[in-house]
Amino acid sequence: MKLVSFAVPAPGEPEARIGCVVRDRVLDLRAAHAWSLIEQGAEPTAARRLAEAFFPADMVHFLELGEVGMLQARALVESFASRLDAEVWTDPGRHPLLSPLPRAASLRDFLAFEAHVRRGYERRGQPFPDLWYEFPVYYKGHPRSFVAPDDEVPWPSSTERFDYELELACVIGRRGRDIPVERAHEYIAGYCILNDFSARDVQMREVQLRLGPAKGKDFATGLGPWLVTPDELSDARDLEMVARVNGEEWSRGNSGTSHWTFAQMIAHASRDETLFPGDILGSGTVGGGCGYELDRWLEPGDLVELEITGLGQLRHRVGPRPAR
Amino acid sequence: MKLVSFAVPAPGEPEARIGCVVRDRVLDLRAAHAWSLIEQGAEPTAARRLAEAFFPADMVHFLELGEVGMLQARALVESFASRLDAEVWTDPGRHPLLSPLPRAASLRDFLAFEAHVRRGYERRGQPFPDLWYEFPVYYKGHPRSFVAPDDEVPWPSSTERFDYELELACVIGRRGRDIPVERAHEYIAGYCILNDFSARDVQMREVQLRLGPAKGKDFATGLGPWLVTPDELSDARDLEMVARVNGEEWSRGNSGTSHWTFAQMIAHASRDETLFPGDILGSGTVGGGCGYELDRWLEPGDLVELEITGLGQLRHRVGPRPAR
């Protein structure tokens, strides 16, 4: 399944709903479940109450239902796939997509691709540290900084070096602690494209103080457009990854070139710690997958498009520089 | 008010309830509100439903109600303070305290105390960086790693350098972005003691790779015992801070010695980013407030006790080393 969150009007700010993309249309899973229950004889109010418990606004809460929720969603997709005229279908024109997890439980972002890390040390004229091979290092990102697909990414107030990062992310679907590498795949609910937007000059200052990065990263993160369940991907270790800026290809790589696997990252992250449904692990930038490696930088108005085999395309427009 | 979360039995794992400490007893705010509504003529089921919406299990969800929730809590404390025989009172013997926020929205931990930072650079034989004066740097901690007051802190599997950190934390009570320093106090819901437990050897390896720390910190964090609302503290800039290990004083400092104020930290964190209710900002370690500065280390079985004026005492027992 390709799970999405989409926006419906609500007091204060739009509220999220969970859907499943089928051939360019979006099945509103809560509405589909309510109709299905009504057809089975439930009172409409009771049907809506139960449907909301199965398909809450927050994707993290849905993921917390584990297989209970996934099986229900699959059954609804199957049941409504042949009924495209039913009222339970919508589309991004009517209800814009949000990030599939508008709010994650947490965001760990790794540095799994050796080529990217090597290039960074080369650029800074520093020797590549052997320590990097000993464990998959990560920092923690901002789990509520996700910019919806096709939305504008605001230019942070104090950067002259606005960058993208082409990454693959996996989303945890099941609570676990001290998870062994060989069982890690059981904990993955799905995959997304991740764009770890970066203010490089801000980031470089932060890491000089041996903490973070934080402000250099947390102003915005791209995630989406879908949360693709593992059964839809033939092999997460062989996905072509491409970044284009204003239609021009800047980056191309393959997920299989990562030194650390998601299984190893999950094992490392879960040592002495509990992973929860809705936790996100980012792979880090694929080799060549950011402007820093190319010494090319984003400008206001640029259209940044990331594409990964099977995971769709994730586009954002870079916002204007704020007035001083 | 001194707000707490306490545990009630529930399927799977205990569920949290929100309370307010009054003279060693805990007012169960949901139960108090339900009784109060029943006394005003509401049906018990309706009263319980409304009371649960006001006082949900999750303290973050309560904080999201803002002043609406705080005013209701204050009214209930006032109304029941003279009725200590009512069934709405409990105590930690019957319902153990959890961390006041068993799950925070996020955790940013700063390095606000110059003496602590200087001592670290001295210990590593490195020059103190002038950059530290330019902005309040922080890393992001694990917002679901909180160990309940008086609980055992598990020894992480790969450390020989288990440490405590004596810190003050403030909790955000209101959404804000680009918050000016002079208005920052309006966004603070309250204060807690924070113990940023650390695996120093693990931390030192991570920061060599210019990310984090993560595994060196995220195995456990102490927070509590109460969330103290600002009106209960005469001056958050003049709080005595003490750490004792097995009753022996190891650390003593004062919150007023911090170079960066919470107002400055809130302004910095909220630049280009939204702060949300339930976000926590840690001050960083007060000067002399950890074993690393003293070259003294925690051992299995140690009782670590942090005390801050007006915020109570936060105790944890260090767990046994895991079997290899």
Quote ipTM for the complex.
0.96
pLDDT of residue A66: 97
Q: Among residues of chain B, what percentage have pLDDT more than 70?
A: 100
Question: Same domain, yes or no, for A119 and A238?
Answer: yes
Mean pLDDT across chain B: 97
User: Is B69 found in the same domain as B152?
Assistant: no
Are B148 and B186 found together in one domain?
A: yes
Question: Is B47 a domain residue?
Answer: yes
* Last residue of one domain, picked from the residues A82, A98, A114: A98
- Mean pLDDT estimate for chain A: 97
Identify the sign of the CA torsion B69, B74, B79, B83.
Answer: positive
Residue B216 falls within a domain, yes or no? yes
Nearest to A316 by CA among A97, A23, A90, A103: A97
Give Rg (Cα) of chain B: 20
Confidence band for B127, pLDDT divided at 50, 70 and 90: very high
Let me know whether B154 and B249 are in one domain.
yes
Confidence of residue B113 (pLDDT cuts 50, 70, 90): very high
Looking at residue A106, its pLDDT comes to 97
- Counted domains in chain A: 2
Who among B138, B142, B156 is closest to A214 (CB)?
B138
Q: How confident is the model at residue B251 (pLDDT cuts 50, 70, 90)?
A: very high
Clarify whether residues B226 and B110 are in a common domain.
yes
Domain encompassing residue B45: 2-98
Is the per-residue pLDDT at B115 higher than 90? yes
Q: Domain boundary residue among B98, B127, B147?
A: B98
B244 with B126, same domain: the answer is yes
Residue A323 lies inside a defined structural domain of this protein? no
pLDDT confidence of residue B86:
86
Return the pLDDT at B118: 97
> Among partner residues A154, A209, A212, which is closest to B129 by beta-carbon distance?
A209
Q: Which of A293, A148, A156, A299 is nearest to A216 (CA)?
A: A156
Q: Is residue B199 part of a domain?
A: yes
Q: What is the pLDDT of residues A78-111, one digit of tens each?
A: 999 999 888 999 999 999 999 999 999 999 999 9
- For residue B88, which of B25, B27, B22 has the smallest C-alpha distance? B27
CATH number of the domain bearing residue B190: 3.90.850.10
Say what the pLDDT of residue A323 is: 84
In a domain, residue B323? The reply is no
Q: Which tokens hold the place of B103? A: 């799950």
Considering only CB atoms, which chain A residues are within 8 Å of B135?
Answer: 205, 215
Cα B235–Cα B241–Cα B242 angle in degrees, nearest 5: 155
Q: Tell whether A246 and A130 lie within a shared domain.
A: yes
The predicted pLDDT at position B234 comes to: 81
The alpha-carbon gap from B138 to the nearest alpha carbon of chain A, in Å, equals 6
**What is the Cα gyration radius of chain A?**
20
Per residue in B128-145, pLDDT (tens digit) is: 999 999 999 999 999 999
Same domain flag for A262 and A155 = yes
Same structural domain for residues A92 and A167?
no
- CA–CA gap between residue A39 and residue A44 (Å, rounded): 10
pLDDT tier for residue A149 given thresholds of 50, 70 and 90: very high
Q: Is residue B294 one of the residues assigned to a domain?
A: yes
Last residue of a domain, one of B45, B76, B98: B98
| CB-CB under 8 Å, B134 with A208 | no
Kindly state whether residue A324 falls inside one of the protein's structural domains: no
Question: Which chain A residues contact residue B205 at CB under 8 A?
Answer: 131, 134-135
pLDDT tens-place string over residues A126-139 = 999 999 999 999 99
> Is the distance from CB of A63 to CB of A280 less than 8 angstroms?
no
Lowest-confidence segment of A123-127, A260-264, B32-36 by average pLDDT: A123-127
Higher-confidence residue: B272 or B85? B272
For A270-293, how does the pLDDT look when each residue is reduced to its tens digit (9 = 90+)?
999 999 999 999 999 999 999 999
Does residue A88 sit in the same domain as residue A121? Answer: no
CATH number of the domain at A26, please.
Answer: 2.30.30.230
Q: Do residues B93 and B172 both lie within one domain?
A: no
The residues of B whose Cβ lies within 8 A of any Cβ of A are 105-106, 108, 111, 129, 131-132, 134-135, 137-145, 154, 156-158, 205-215, 218-219, 268, 271-274, 276
- Tell me which residues of chain A have a C-beta less than 8 Å from any C-beta of chain B: 105-106, 108, 111, 129, 131-132, 134-135, 137-145, 154, 156-158, 205-215, 218-219, 268, 271-274, 276
Which candidate from B131, B207, B272 shows the least CB-CB separation from A205?
B131
Tell me which H or E stretch contains B252: strand B248-254
Domain presence at residue B116: yes
A164 shares a domain with A72: no
